[in-house]
Amino acid sequence: MNVRFFFLCIALIGMAHADARPKLELQCVSIGEGPALECTARLQNANGEPIKTATVTLAAHMPSMPMAHSIKPVVAVATNHPGEYRTQLELEMPGVWAIQVDLSAPNRDRFIRRMQVERCEKGKRCPALATSLTTSKP
Amino acid sequence: MSAEHAVGLASDMGIMALLALSAYLLLLVGRISFGQQAFFGIGAYVSGIASAMAHWPLSIALFAGMLVGALASCLLALPTMPLSGLHYAVATFAFGEMVRVGLQAWYFQQETSDGPVGPAGLDGFRDIRWLLENDVSPSQYLVLIAAVLAIVLLAFAWLERRRLGVALRMTGHDDVLAATQGLAVTRLRLVAATTAGALAALGGGLYAHRATYIEPALFDPMLGVHAVSYALIGGLGTCLGPLLGVAFDLGLLEATRVFAGWRMVVFGLLVALFLRWRQRGLLDEALVHRFTQLFRARTQASR
């Protein structure tokens, strides 16, 4: 039997455990008509300290078109600011996109943020707004 | 293609194959359902709630999703099975939309140290984190999906050689003739619909845990139409047909990335042209029969 699968089976009967999660702040701007989406992720640990050694990958998909429009994962590069990572996603069209931020180090984690991405004028940068379709519980 | 993306794509193929097999099972008994996405969604939400809010183990959470999916499908099938093919298709479509709109209005959240968790209407259901909390890697999860799919395919292969499998196909080909042969047509269709609901819900549960995030928009009619197309493109001759259909469909979607925003338009055109060329899909009954005869001839020759 595959050893990994054996351990997975063991994990299946185990109960979940929770560690303190890092905090993510995600800001994106759409560039040009494409539109390309430049995203900056700022990561902090539970104590509020920047996470400097993270491996961050960004991907995106359109929730309104399941499996149809998805952007391949792109590795984000650390900027000069500690705990800040940046990359660019080449989106296929404007609209509401779910931006997926994956951390593979120091701990694995995943964050999803929905963004309303608008088509921009050529050469201009427009902020992509985080969307919440409902503001409060009815 | 990066290894990470390839693992994600293979996982999606495995999950979509379960949804395609649920549509295939209904096609076998002569029913086209445009509502399988509803059971996929029900499975996703129920298993998500079970693992993320009730902290149940994944296996039990998936089973709970399957159970509720099967129950919902059975309850839908009871009044709709006597309907004719077209009316059944419309009824399942309406049910799919009813579930989606219902999920849009459904709030059931729990406060945790990391914020609220649970279904939040149009904003969906985030942080279904069982895989992350239990350190299951995407490739390990792919192994699990492949194992589940293999078990389901083996069950189908076993079923199709039994009387029940033949009875299901007979019902699909001609229900009046099947009834005159003494087959309980309505009961057979009810069993098929219930099992199909469970399969779609299992796929949904696996999807929710892979994606960690689901929302009602994911379970729109497009997903249901794709499920039926997977089975039709792959062919109805064998249970491997839907699997082939998924590989063809998602493979073609990947191959047409170069068309960017026009990808779905090009994809739709290619599928239409393909079905014009092979109306009964890639692995149709005639091709399966030819393969079976070839296999038998070789087996006999080797003896």
Residues of B in contact with A22 (CB under 8 A): none
Average pLDDT, integer, range A38-51: 90
Q: Within the 101-130 window of chain B, which residues sit less than 8 Å (CB to CB) from chain A?
A: 105, 107, 109, 113-114, 120-124, 126, 129-130
CB of B241 closer than 8 Å to CB of B25: no
pLDDT bracket for residue A15 (50, 70, 90): very low
What pLDDT, on a 0 to 100 scale, did the predictor assign at position A133? 52
CB–CB of B122 and A109 under 8 A? no
Distance from CA of B12 to the nearest CA of A (A): 8
DSSP codes joined into one string, B2-46: -HHHHHHHHHHHHHHHHHHHHHHHHHHTT---S-HHHHHHHHHHH
CA distance B232 to B281: 5
Higher per-residue confidence, A126 vs A68: A126
Q: Is the pLDDT confidence value at B194 over 90?
A: yes
Q: Is the pLDDT confidence value at A16 over 50?
A: no
Percentage above 90 pLDDT, chain B:
58
Pairing verdict, β B115-117 and A23-31: unpaired
Exposure of B150 by Cβ count < 10 A (0-12 exposed, 13-18 middle, 19+ buried)? exposed
**Best of A112, A115, A119 to mutate (most B CBs within 10 Å, chain B):** A112
B268 and chain A: CB distance < 8 Å anywhere? no
Beta strands in chain B, from DSSP E residues, in sequence order: 110-112, 115-117
Ranked by mean pLDDT, the top range of B14-28, B172-186, B282-296 is B14-28
Find the CB nearest B134 among A14, A21, A73: A14
What pLDDT, on a 0 to 100 scale, did the predictor assign at position B51? 96
How far apart, in Å, are the Cα atoms of A127 and each of A27, B2, B62, B146, B147? Answer: 8, 29, 39, 41, 44
DSSP codes joined into one string, A19-76: PPPPEEEEEEEEETTTTEEEEEEEEE-TTS-B--S-EEEEEEE-TTSTTTSEEEEEEP
CA distance B257 to B72: 37
pLDDT bracket for residue A17 (50, 70, 90): very low
Residues of B in contact with A17 (CB under 8 A): 133-134
Residues of B in contact with A66 (CB under 8 A): 217-220, 222-223
Query: B39-72, pLDDT tens digit by residue?
Result: 999 999 999 999 999 999 999 999 999 999 999 9
**Best of B215, B226, B230, B252 to mutate (most A CBs within 10 Å, chain A):** B215
Q: Is the pLDDT confidence value at A138 over 50?
A: no
Q: Is the pLDDT confidence value at B89 over 80?
A: yes
pLDDT bracket for residue B95 (50, 70, 90): very high
CA distance B109 to B28: 40
pLDDT bracket for residue A62 (50, 70, 90): confident
Q: Considering only alpha carbons, which residue of chain A is nearest residue B134? A: A16
Average pLDDT, integer, range B162-167: 91
Query: B245-272, pLDDT tens digit by residue?
Result: 888 888 877 777 777 667 777 777 877 8
The pTM for the full model equals 0.87
CB pairs under 8 A between A and B: 111
CB–CB of B143 and A4 under 8 A? yes
CB–CB of A8 and B144 under 8 A? yes
What pLDDT, on a 0 to 100 scale, did the predictor assign at position B290? 85
CB–CB of A12 and B55 under 8 A? no
Q: Which of A57-66, A129-138, B159-168 has the lowest mean pLDDT?
A: A129-138
Query: B202-234, pLDDT tens digit by residue?
Result: 999 999 999 999 999 999 998 998 898 888 888
